[in-house]
Structure 1
Amino acid sequence: MLSRGDLTDGEWALLEPLLPVGNNRCGRWRDHRQVINGIIHRLGTGVQWRELPERFGPWKTVHKRHLLWSADGTWERLLRHVQSEADAEGGIDWNINVDSTVARAHQHAAGAPRSAAPAEPFKRGTPKASAAAVAHGDAARPPGGGGAPGEALGRSRGGLTTKIHIAAEGHCRPLSLLITPGQRADCTQFERVMDKIHVPRAGRGRPRRTPDSVSADKAYSNRKIRAYLRKRGIRHAIPEKRDHKAARLRRGSRGGRPPGFDKDRYRDRNTVERAINKLKQFRAVATRYDKRGYVYLGTVTAAALLIWLRS
């Protein structure tokens, strides 16, 4: 299981050079490997922080480290580094697929302060959550209440939910992630998901942002998305909606040509669904327990990092 077990020696050797080596408060950190193993345990089990086994050290240390790394982008930097290593070895299939999934929010996820600015992850000696971290959520207040603005909590038929939008490469691993309230339409987040694809080169050169092709279901079938892909020169396999096809045919020659559609390429769209299944092996992802949006995004990103390390 991807969600079980401590870091192996090989996984730790890859991550260790990228981790912070000092602390503003006391000049040193508690063993990073022990703390990350505690975070992995919580990711896989969904256990409350204060119920972490003693072998991971003080639960507050593990909790605060996760808050800090979610706020300052450490989890995202680690994920991009692992993606860069895989790309340098030719291990990324750049025929990507886009989709989303809804995670039910536990009652503990509600009740974050309704302040315009994010609260500090913890008190002295640590930076506030960056504006970019909060921007990963959605700044709109969810209809019907249920969460503070910017916390990516919304009300849908399932109650309080958060939606995870994901672009996955051909080996069922997440390339980019973002979260919104659960009622947000998939198509409105397509460009944001694509713009977050950012795989650094191992040597010189700009990070790779453009896939070879994109596949998505009918939820992403509209003119704006097709124009976006056409402008960037990206081939796509997105089926045309039935009502769109009927409207085009009614207009005759003025309706334009039907969009191209590769059925064989579309069959590979299941890779994003399998990537979602891998993410939801982590109980702390499948059910949202985190109050703050940036912290839950850090939880999802840490789970994606483990998928890359263990796939």
Structure 2
Amino acid sequence: MVGRGRVLRRHELSEAEWEFVRPLLPLWLRRRKRLDDRTVLNGIVWKFRTGVAWRDVPERYGPWATLHTRFRRWALDGTFERMLRAARAKADAAGGVDWLVSVDSTAVRAHQHAAGARKGGLRSPALGRSRGGPTSRIHLACDALGRPLAFTVTGGNTDGCTQFTAVMDAIRVPRLGLGRPRIRRGHVLGDKGYSSEAVRAWLGQRGVGHTIPDRTDRIRNRLRRGSRGGRPPAFDKQLCKQRNVVERCFNRLKQWRDIATRHDKTAESYQAAVALASLLM
């Protein structure tokens, strides 16, 4: 039991979580009575945590069409992204953001229900073909505590290093008071997939330290060229071990079954689901 006799069921928002997100929801200006936002949001969370179809969401959360309509409305108007930015700003103001940034990507299998969406005569973005079928890929940067700072969603056949700058540029933590958003990246950790001249040059131009292991072929080519091959990039093996925090972040995200397997046809809906999961992390 929580609050004033309210039963807190599994996967539902706690009182503290609800009080945080309630002011961030869009205002309903029409006079017609409708299903309250807390019930709807609990139903949305329950659906994405369990991975069921919209039609199978329990009736205690209201009509499934109402849940889906409001989710799509909030996904398109940026409500979930706004909630996530507010949560990051609150954590940063409390000194809870550790700016040792780890970056990586993970492939997500797309269910057959995710295929077939059309937008402007083209297939829905963020779906790619692979040997196992349609897939998506989440490119993500997290802090040293494993909390997502920024992410993008692309087709599963998109290489991680091609989205590196997009993910880094998306790191913008607002301040609770006046001032520009924080975009600093104290140090960046990545795997061999991000070992490219373009990535290292981008970080160097911004004065961002990085620990990225060199690929075997690059090491071999440098040795083959001798003195003309230049010096190898600095690498701290012990610091690189902390990069597993991003793997644990992905593991937590994929505990949401609708994120581990994509069922949404549109990229906007899937991105909103990732933002919602990141918020509650």
Normalising by structure 1, we get a TM-score of 0.84
TM-superposed CA distance for 1:114, in Å, is 4.9
Q: Is it true that 1:264 corresponds to 2:238 in the alignment?
A: yes
Distance 1:150 1:108 in 2: 12
Match of 2:13 among 7, 16, 21: 7
| 1:253, distance to aligned residue in structure 2 (A) | 2.2
Match of 2:219 in 1: 245
Q: Which amino acid aligns with 2:242?
A: D
In 2: Cα distance, 1:289 partner to 1:112 partner = 11
Q: Calculate percent identity across the aligned residue pairs.
A: 51
Residue type matched to 1:33 in 2?
R
Out of 64, 67, 77, the position equivalent to 1:62 is 67
RMSD between superposed Cα atoms in Å: 1.4
Q: Is the 8 A contact 2:117 2:124 kept in 1?
A: no
1:40 to partner: Cα distance: 0.6
The answer (yes or no) to whether the contact 1:237–1:261 under 8 Å persists in 2 is yes
Q: Give the structure, 1 or 2, with the largest relative contact order (CA under 8 Å, sep 6 or more).
A: 1
Does the C-alpha gap of structure 1 residues 29 and 263 become closer, same or farther in structure 2, counting only changes over 3 Å? farther
Partner SS for 1:251:
helix
AA partner of residue 178 (structure 1): T
Match of 2:27 in 1: 21
Distance 2:95 2:34 in 1: 35
Match of 2:209 in 1: 235
Specify the SS of the correspondent of 2:19.
helix
1:36 lines up with 2:22 in the alignment: no
CA drift of 1:88 comes to 0.3
Using the alignment, how far apart are the partners of 2:71 and 2:152 within structure 1? 18
Structure 1: how far apart are the matches of 2:32 and 2:219? 64
Q: State the partner residue of 1:53.
A: 58
Distance across 1 between alignment mates of 2:34 and 2:59: 18
**Residue deviations 1:69-97, cap 9 Å, x none?**
11111111100100100000001111010
Cα distance in structure 1, aligned partners of 2:118 and 2:247: 34
Counterpart for residue 120 of structure 1: none
One-letter amino acid of the counterpart of residue 25, structure 2 = L
| CA drift at 1:17 | 1.2
Deviation at residue 202 of structure 1 after TM alignment: 1.5
Decide whether aligned partners of structure 1 residues 245 and 114 sit closer, same or farther in structure 2, where only a CA change above 3 A counts: same
Q: Is the 2:117–2:123 contact (alpha carbons within 8 Å) kept by the matching residues of 1?
A: no
1:109 corresponds in structure 2 to 114
Using the TM superposition, give the Cα deviation of residue 175 of structure 1 relative to its aligned residue in structure 2, in angstroms. 0.8
**What CA distance in whole angstroms lies between the structure 1 residues aligned with 2:182 and 2:33?**
35
Given the superposition, is the C-alpha separation of residues 158 and 105 from structure 1 closer, same or farther in structure 2, using an over 3 Å criterion?
same
**Against the structure 1 CA distance between its residues 227 and 5, is the aligned structure 2 distance closer, same or farther, given a 3 Å change threshold?**
same
Preserved CA contact (<8 Å) 2:139 2:167: yes
Which 5+ residue runs of structure 2 have no aligned equivalent? 1-9
- State yes or no: 1:297 paired with 2:271: yes
What amino acid maps onto 1:80 in structure 2? Answer: R
